[in-house]
Amino acid sequence: VASRCANTVVIVNSVSQLNLEAWIDHPNVVGVIWSGMPGSEYGHAIVDVLFGNYNPGGKLVFTLAKNDSDYGTDISESYNSNYTEGVFLDYRHFDEHNIVPRYFFGYGLSYTTFAFSSLDISKARKGPHTISSQYRQHRMRPYANIGTSSIYEP
């Protein structure tokens, strides 16, 4: 489709990771919406998102790799997994092995723009760290996302 349409928006209906690399950088692909497993009002909802009447605000619940081999695991043909990788699943696996994914766990966009500035992290001699920043949100639609930060201990 993208080879014949100058403004292609790809809508992905999937509950798990897919490799997007065959088409994600095509110059005619101008957007991707990962809609998961939509319900009965999906048609109306996706039209509202595509025409800018509703501000999408979802986040990925998994990491999307650039290569299938980046995941470190494969489908088990025995239907039995021992999880020998321990806690190093998904984003932890990517961090542990210094793999840059296509899209990180928690990635998501909306029609709203966000700006963070004046980031400061101070470490107390005892106790928790203090993190502060300035945050600005420019809303396109009334019910835009709330800015959030995710911090993971290495």
Please give the radius of gyration of the chain, using alpha carbons only, rounded to the nearest integer: 19
Query: Which tokens go with 38?
Result: 């939509």
Contact, 103 vs 12, CB < 8 A? no
Nearest to 149 by CA among 120, 127, 125, 124: 120
**Residues linked to residue 114 through DSSP beta bridges, in sequence order:** 137
Q: What is the pLDDT of residues 123-141, one digit of tens each?
A: 767 777 788 888 777 665 5
pLDDT tens, residue by residue, 17-32: 999 999 999 999 999 9
CA–CA dist 132, 135 (Å, integer): 10
Between 13 and 52, the more confident residue is 13
Q: Any residues with CB less than 8 A from the CB of 61 and at least 6 apart, and which?
A: 105
pLDDT band of 144, cuts 50, 70, 90: very low
Within its chain, how far is the Cα of 102 from the centroid?
9
Q: What is the pLDDT of residue 21?
A: 95
Domain with CATH 3.40.50.1700 in the chain: 8-110
User: Can you give the pTM of this predicted structure?
Assistant: 0.70
Tens-digit pLDDT profile for residues 45-95 = 999 989 888 888 778 889 999 999 998 777 667 777 777 888 888 889 999
d(CA 56, CA 112): 9
CATH number attached to the domain at 8-110: 3.40.50.1700
Q: Is the confidence at residue 13, as pLDDT, over 80?
A: yes
